[in-house]
Structure 1
């Protein structure tokens, strides 16, 4: 996106995959394996699931960016598990229990480019909000130090935190992002949404917002096809000064 539009006033961040390399994927994968080799083992012959079937691509295409129950249902339907609507409750609960254990074990890390980008857009005068579908996002953000501010957590850097906020419709519906814009007091058209998930990019565009895709896993083409205005491998590539002029572009080569 090289054209100038109305000045950007806010940046809305997804958390998992953008700011945090979290154990969500591991929790979903391990929980399903536990069920399919345990309580649900009699169902295996009716499904396409096997030990190597839950790949990172399946996570990104089917689960990433969705609210917990929507993701559980989508994954079970993907693998052809009978009565997916009913079994999704058990799967989602099992996943949450495993995720909390993985968080306790500190099986996550911050994406440092994401932490730097939050600090940079704040310094440029833009409002910032966290808007993850996950109710656990705050646990991660509280554990990450803010850039250049000893004793301050990344969570404290946000003007609004809507992570895990109940909404009638999850991504790719734009409701969560539109709610974030409303809480920040800015029009949707002046917001940039930072997402790593296809469903999140679609939600941003449906809400009339600019979408900045972060391709952490070589999925730049997928994010571009979903409608991202700019796709980068690292948020360090984004020209923050240009955002204040309404332009979502890469930094010039060699710029500081």
Structure 2
């Protein structure tokens, strides 16, 4: 998909979601949600499972089990759910999204900064990166413990951009979920939809600047040294 703006626009930094963008754990999340909910008398539809992408666990819990849940009940349920996911993540086969490691190394070689912006718990983000051998390639991370609001609120990407010392408008965000694309837009960043979790036609409705299969499918504007992505050289034009 062509961007709504010219490919000559410069991006000073790259922001990454985690699940479905860096590591392919989407089906693990669905499995945990299905088992967790079934044990508590709720059977989510496939559409409801899709809607969990990019959403904080507490928001899903209140949507499925009642808005009257207290903060303490939500916290306890969230902890149970995240422990179940942590156990699966530690033992089930997981892989990185194709091409992401090579892309990260190309950013580092070109001097383009990047950061992680995820709704995941910090410990699960750490384990996920370790499982695919990318923990050393994400020194800058913003996780659920660093934000008050979940996606589609832009807070996670605003903080990730701030951690890099770059204006959010000078960033391009890689996202696989509708809520995440909306968060990127709300932050003022350009966005790339990665079609690993949602059907392409669903992502296309969000009007991302680009829509790609994975990191092997990137246009020149998103590659270091291309017209669109360059190391910071001062204030963004």
TM-score range, shorter chain: 0.7 to 0.9
Unaligned 5+ runs, structure 2: 230-237
- Is the 8 Å Cα contact of residues 36 and 81 (structure 2) preserved in structure 1? yes
**More RCO (CA 8 Å, sep 6+):** 2
The match for 2:199 among 219, 222, 225 is 219
Q: Deviations over 1:69-90 (max 9, x none)?
A: 123223x1xxxx4555346445
Residue aligning to 1:247: 228
Residue 29 of structure 1 pairs with residue 34 of structure 2: yes
State the Cα distance separating 1:97 from its structure 2 match: 2.2
Residue 85 of structure 1 pairs with residue 69 of structure 2: yes
Q: Deviations over 1:146-173 (max 9, x none)?
A: xxxxxxxx12112411123331211101
Residue 54 of structure 1 pairs with residue 45 of structure 2: yes
Residue 104 of structure 1 pairs with residue 85 of structure 2: no
- Find the residue that maps to 2:115 and give its secondary structure: strand
State the Cα distance separating 1:12 from its structure 2 match: 0.6
The match for 1:66 among 37, 49, 55 is 55
Residue aligning to 2:120: 134
Residue aligning to 1:228: 208
Residue aligning to 1:185: 165
CA gap 1:82/1:177 in 2 versus in 1, 3 angstroms: closer
State the Cα distance separating 1:215 from its structure 2 match: 0.7
Aligned length: 219
- Is the 8 Å Cα contact of residues 98 and 215 (structure 2) preserved in structure 1? no
Residue aligning to 2:132: 144
The match for 2:175 among 177, 186, 195 is 195
- Is the 8 Å Cα contact of residues 130 and 162 (structure 1) preserved in structure 2? yes
CA distance in 2, matches of 1:108, 1:220: 23
- Flag the structure with larger Rg: 1
Q: Which deviates further from its counterpart, 201-210 or 82-91?
A: 82-91
CA distance in 1, matches of 2:112, 2:221: 11
- Is the 8 Å Cα contact of residues 113 and 234 (structure 1) preserved in structure 2? yes
CA distance in 2, matches of 1:246, 1:224: 24
Residue aligning to 2:15: 12
CA gap 1:107/1:99 in 2 versus in 1, 3 angstroms: farther
